[in-house]
Chains A and B, each alone.
Chain A
């Protein structure tokens, strides 16, 4: 409740209480004054009735007397009666008088001196003499000095008027009897005036007998009342005066009642009056009580009203507050929903500390943090190192305004995303905070980058491809964009092709081609490698392959056309076609070439071998030679090794291509072609084997071969060697006998051992036409002995010493038939002795067959005389 309401309430209550008080008090006052007047009236009436009764009684008494003859005659008895009456009522009457019809006093008691006096001059006497009806005199002061009133009653003899009988009434006695007793309250009293305005009675001294108007001079309200009284009226009045006699009593209000007192022929007026103060003093206690009650009512009213108003206000405020609370809750709920369910990541951080206050689900989901982790972060933790300072400064500055900017954020896994952050101030749970909405624009950025890159790529491709590219309007072929290649190929400058159509440029040699092309692009959406011809500025005709795609630039359909200049290719194709026609001839030619080359190779190989032999001889001769010769030896081996590699590379090509062609991978061959190629193939392979062997030998001789001992199963390695000669064995229908223990293991160089075994086996097969081959293996102490026995041509005594030398088989009649490099046994011996630390020997009888025996240690330890230098190739 506010002050104004309270003051208004006080005013209303004060007013109401005052009105109430006044109403009650006035009512009470009115009642009191009415009661006072009633009381005064009763008094006035009692007094009036008393005085009237007094006069009535005396009139009656005098009437009775007047009927008596003694009185009429005023004889002795009559006089005695008068005396008796006087004596009996001396307290009331001052005299009793008999007056004759002329107005002369016949007899009077007790003042006999007045007898004979004529009083007809007096007003009331004249009246009765004339009217013959009882009269009362005015109050008069007797010669004896007291105020008196005379009552005359007529006396008749028969019907003759014989004067009057009268009494003089002591007015003071009368007044004492009927008026002095009137006392009302403190100040109430009565006063009486006669019809002519003479003050007959008043408790105030010095006024009786005087004219009332003299007494009340200067009090108009009193004069009004007196005038009304003198007309014989009855009534009430109030008046004020300030003086009783000569005494100043202050301004006094008086309440008065007045009424006439009818006596015989005349009337008096009696006034009973009281001071207002009397009534008021009676009302004081009532007024106080009333004031108290009204005061109590006022206070209670005030208290209840205040409490009521307060209660009302409280209820109203409570209602308002509840409404506000509901609204707040709704708005909070809405806000929370907006925040938590927002698909965009959102966060709230405290300004100043930059501490994270809240994040939504989208944030935790997108960034990969748990809510707890996210809330332990500071804003700057989200930013990569190089942006931390900038965001810190920005966050310190941002206040009051909305912000949006592009930044990078770190996710929980450390990956960086491009984001747009929009933020504004917020009061969050009492914190001065800021809310930010994050938009991840990584994809957009990437898409933009990709688009830009793709545009760049297109632009680059457009200008960098070796093909001419034209973008033209589909409807009429208007050139919109061409690349430099186009300009170069057609010979036009960029200005010349501006706003030209391909038709205007006369680009198409055959305009039907253009129509075909455009129609195809329209129906298929694209055209691939359509052959056509173009005319350059200089009129030259170019062959072109046209590829096209319909694209839309802006809104107009366009053609992206790529023209490949194939003029050169066409020429080449034409040549190729020519070659193709002569293919067979060519193949034959080349095969012959190849054979010639092979022969040349063989010859050079021979020469090489001779050289090698020379060198070997030289080496043997110079075993004790100095370092310079060793160096020469090394150089020689290296030369051979690298030479062999160079020889082998083209051979590999020859073998590879012929092999592939032979397999029919390049198309079917006829039998003769196949046979020819097979010969080339075999020859090339033979040559390769030779070279390989030469390399091996030269390496061994140079001491530059690596040794790789490993565990080898004897049985397995022999089986492997047999497998390689199995086809020839089967071709010659030779038998094979194998006698090898299954559980013998060797630690040796597998490849080299295999090489030796294959050499021995293939040697055996080569020189055997019927019968078979027998392989026997035996353990011999720390060695293993492997024998290969054939039933072939055998070896003559003469041949024996040269057997293990290079190219020893070249001169035999079997050379062509048997094939072989002629280096086999030479190499085998070298391998067996120099590498495998073993030996090889032979037993043979000409025409009976031969047995080659290879003996190698079971456990091969690398020995110091073999230097490891890595591959020489």
Chain B
């Protein structure tokens, strides 16, 4: 069973994504701040990370940068999540080292297919 780390400050969204991932058979870990998320990623080594870009303590891109420059490197796929995107957001996130990208409101099917693709569960 794959484990997802969800870094998200909004409780509703956290519940939503958690439930939704669990419905699809993933185990979930939760972190509500960027630093907590980063430390949990280091410690637990989940199979992938869903990272909200707007976080209360540090920016999601900063969390991403920390993850990529830690021991984890690129071994764990990170899927960025934003509630609103502008031109260039996608490029910015991908060039910052994101493996995938979800826009809120989340579309379950698209998200699942994206996760499966990134964790190598589909051909």
Contacts and interface: CB of A to CB of B under 8 A. Distances in A.
Interface of A: 645, 648-653, 655-657, 659-660, 663, 665-666, 685, 688, 692, 695, 705-708, 749-752, 871, 873
Contact of A648 (B16, B23, B83, B89): B83
B1 interface: no
Interface string B19-38: 11001000000000000000
Nearest to A657: B16
A751 B87 contact: yes
B107 A650 contact: no
A637 B108 CA distance: 32
B10 interface: yes
A708 B94 CA distance: 15
Given A652-B104, A656-B12, A665-B23, 20 more contacts: A648-B83, A648-B104, A655-B105, A656-B16, A656-B105, A657-B12, A659-B105, A659-B107, A659-B108, A660-B23, A660-B108, A663-B109, A666-B19, A685-B105, A695-B84, A707-B87, A708-B87, A749-B87, A751-B86, A871-B86
Contacts of A688: 105
B58 interface: no
A660 B109 CA distance: 10
Contacts of A645: 83-84
Nearest to A706: B88
B106 interface: yes
Contacts of A659: 105-108
A708 B85 CA distance: 13
A751 B87 CA distance: 6
Contacts of A657: 12, 16
Nearest to B85: A751
Nearest to A752: B87
A692 B54 CA distance: 17
Contacts of B17: 656
Contacts of B13: 649, 652-653, 656
B20 A665 contact: yes
A645 B108 CA distance: 22
B121 interface: no
A656 B106 contact: yes
Contacts of B20: 656, 660, 665
B57 to A, nearest CB: 16
B91 interface: yes
Nearest to B19: A660
22 contacts: A645-B83, A648-B83, A648-B84, A652-B83, A652-B106, A653-B10, A653-B13, A653-B16, A656-B16, A656-B17, A656-B20, A656-B106, A657-B16, A659-B107, A660-B16, A660-B20, A665-B20, A665-B23, A688-B105, A708-B88, A708-B91, A873-B83
B82 to A, nearest CB: 8
A67 to B, nearest CB: 174
B12 A653 contact: yes
Contacts of B107: 659
B12 to A, nearest CB: 4
Contacts of B88: 706, 708
B87 A750 contact: yes
Most buried by A among B16, B19, B88, B109: B88
B56 to A, nearest CB: 13
Contact of A692 (B19, B84, B87): B84
A196 to B, nearest CB: 155
Interface string B28-50: 00000000000000000000000
A649 to B, nearest CB: 6
Contacts of B83: 645, 648-649, 652, 873
Contacts of B23: 660, 665-666
Nearest to B106: A656
Contacts of A656: 12-13, 16-17, 20, 104-106
Nearest to B17: A656
Given A649-B10, A660-B16, A660-B19, A706 B54 contact: no
B105 A651 contact: yes
Nearest to B12: A653
A498 B104 CA distance: 59
Nearest to B105: A655
What are the 8 tightest A-B residue pairs by CB atom distance, in nearest-first order?
A655-B105, A653-B12, A708-B88, A708-B87, A751-B87, A652-B104, A656-B16, A652-B105
B87 to A, nearest CB: 4
Interface in B72-123: 83-84, 86-89, 91, 104-109
Nearest to B22: A665
- Most chain B beta-carbon contacts within 10 A, residue among A656, A750, A751: A656
B34 to A, nearest CB: 16
Contacts of A750: 87
A695 B86 CA distance: 11
B87 A873 contact: no
A707 B10 CA distance: 29
B108 A663 contact: yes
B115 to A, nearest CB: 15
A708 B92 CA distance: 11
B88 to A, nearest CB: 4
A655 B88 CA distance: 25
A650 B23 CA distance: 22
Nearest to B91: A708
Contacts of B91: 708
Contacts of B87: 705-708, 749-752
Contact of A873 (B12, B16, B19, B54): B54
B113 to A, nearest CB: 14
Contacts of A695: 84
Nearest to A644: B84
Nearest to A664: B23
Nearest to B109: A663
B60 to A, nearest CB: 11
Contacts of B106: 652, 656, 659
Contacts of A650: 12
Contact of A706 (B19, B86, B105, B108): B86
